[in-house]
Structure formats: structure tokens, C-alpha cells
A and B are shown apart, each in its own frame.
Chain A
Amino acid sequence: EVQLLESGGGLVQPGGSLRLSCAASGFIFRNYVMTWVRQAPGKGLEWVSSIRQSGGDTYYAESVKGRFTISRDNSRATLSLQMDSLRADDTAMYYCAKKGPAADGSQYYDYWGQGALVTVSS
């Protein structure tokens, strides 16, 4: 059974940093693109960042570029998101998500974690 378990969320002051982790199990982690998607309270879904299988290629939304860093440890089946210079509008539930199995590179997500809540407030 595929499981994605996020951790590391919490309350942080504006300008602060936080690191999210996502522990994956039930599939061959190193074979899949992994992604972070966030959802502000009462709002819709927003793609944040993705990372290719080897970790060599990373992609970011303009809203987080230069402040967030995605990484992965394939030996530990763990995805991470380092969030620096946090702002109030980064407040959201952050989900890690696994790309679907399609070999054509389709970036839809077939499994999601339960989410980690990040609150940026003074």
C-alpha cells in the first residue's frame, strides 16, 4: 500500500524557516517524480515544486522560487521542502504527492499525503 507521511509543519514567524519532510513507502520511490502542492485555508490547490527521479532537476512556482528548495533522499525514500523567508501568504496545508505511473511523463498525482500545516504569523 502506498503511503506518504508529511511532517515538520508548524507555526513560524514571518521571515523564518521551516523544513517539511515526506516519508514514502509502498512503491519504488526512486522511480517517480515527486511534488509538493499547497492549499491555503479555504482556498484551492496550488502546485509548489517538483523534483525528478534522480533529484538533478527541480521546478518551482514563481511564488516560491528563490525561497523554497525541494530535495529527495532516494536511499531513505524521503522528500523534503526547505522553506526560507516565509511570508504570511505561505500559510497553507502542504501536501506531498506522487506522480502517476504513465510513462509519457504525465504530471497528474495518484497518491497524496495527509498534509502538513504551515502557519506563518507573528
Chain B
Amino acid sequence: DIQMTQSPSTLSAFIGDRVTITCRASHDIDSWLAWYQQRPGKAPKLLIYKASSLQTGVSSRLSGSGSGTEFTLIINSLQPDDSATYYCQQYHSSPITFGGGTKVEIK
């Protein structure tokens, strides 16, 4: 199975800050990576697919990059609404696997 490792596991930042979340794959997954946001008590929401394609309706403050084994999710100008846990997911190989999550808190 492909292991997905996210860092940091938790981060705390101020409103307006730029936040970076990293996801590393144990094997090359090309660009077959998605990012999700999950607010407490809610279902995950798709943010980005194919490493850098923004899902329709998602704020342009978010962006994704990377390929191979290292990927990044950037949130520009952090807003209160961004307080959530973010997960990466690889869909290069079965079984599909998710990262452990990064909890973003507002200072």
C-alpha cells in the first residue's frame, strides 16, 4: 500500500497568514492526488484534484502543487472559515489511501 504522510499534524496561524501543508507519498504517484477539507462534525469536501486542479466553487485562495512523492496545499490569506482538518488522498494505486490529516487552527 502507498503510505501518505502529512505534516504538520497541527498548525496554528493568524488571520491573513499564508499556510502550507505538505503531503508525502511512499511511492511515486505522479499527480494522482486530491485534497479535502473537513470541518468538525461534517463530511469531507473536495478542494483539489490531480494535485493542482481547483474544484469548482472552491476559493482561489487555495492552491495545490507537486508531483511524484511530494505535494503541497497552500492557503493564502487565512480566514476563520479555513479552520478545519485537511486530508490528502492518493488515487494512483489500489487501495486508495489518505494522509493522517492536518488540523488548522486560528490563533
A interface residues with partner B (beta carbon < 8 Å): 37, 44-47, 50, 59, 61-62, 95, 100, 102, 106-115
Q: Are A108 and B44 in contact (CB under 8 A)?
A: no
B interface residues with partner A (beta carbon < 8 Å): 32, 34, 36, 42-46, 49-50, 55, 87, 89, 91, 94-101
Q: Are A114 and B43 in contact (CB under 8 A)?
A: yes
Pick from A44, A59, A61, A110: contact of B55, CB under 8 Å:
A110
Q: Are A100 and B49 in contact (CB under 8 A)?
A: yes
C-alpha spacing A109/B46, complex, angstroms:
7
Q: Are B98 and A47 in contact (CB under 8 A)?
A: yes
Q: Are B98 and A46 in contact (CB under 8 A)?
A: yes
List residues of chain A with CB within 8 A of the CB of B36. 45
Pick from B32, B42, B98: contact of A45, CB under 8 Å:
B98
Pick from A108, A111, A112: contact of B89, CB under 8 Å:
A108
Chain B residue with the shortest CB-CB distance to A62? B95
C-alpha spacing A44/B97, complex, angstroms:
10
Q: Are A59 and B44 in contact (CB under 8 A)?
A: no
Q: Are B45 and A112 in contact (CB under 8 A)?
A: yes
Some 15 contacts from A to B, beta carbons below 8 A apart, are A37-B44, A44-B98, A45-B98, A45-B101, A50-B96, A59-B95, A102-B49, A106-B49, A106-B91, A108-B34, A110-B46, A112-B44, A112-B45, A114-B43, A115-B43
Q: Are B87 and A108 in contact (CB under 8 A)?
A: no
User: Smallest CB–CB gap between A70 and chain B, Å?
Assistant: 14
C-alpha spacing A102/B44, complex, angstroms:
19
User: Smallest CB–CB gap between A48 and chain B, Å?
Assistant: 10
C-alpha spacing A113/B89, complex, angstroms:
18
Chain A residue with the shortest CB-CB distance to B85? A44
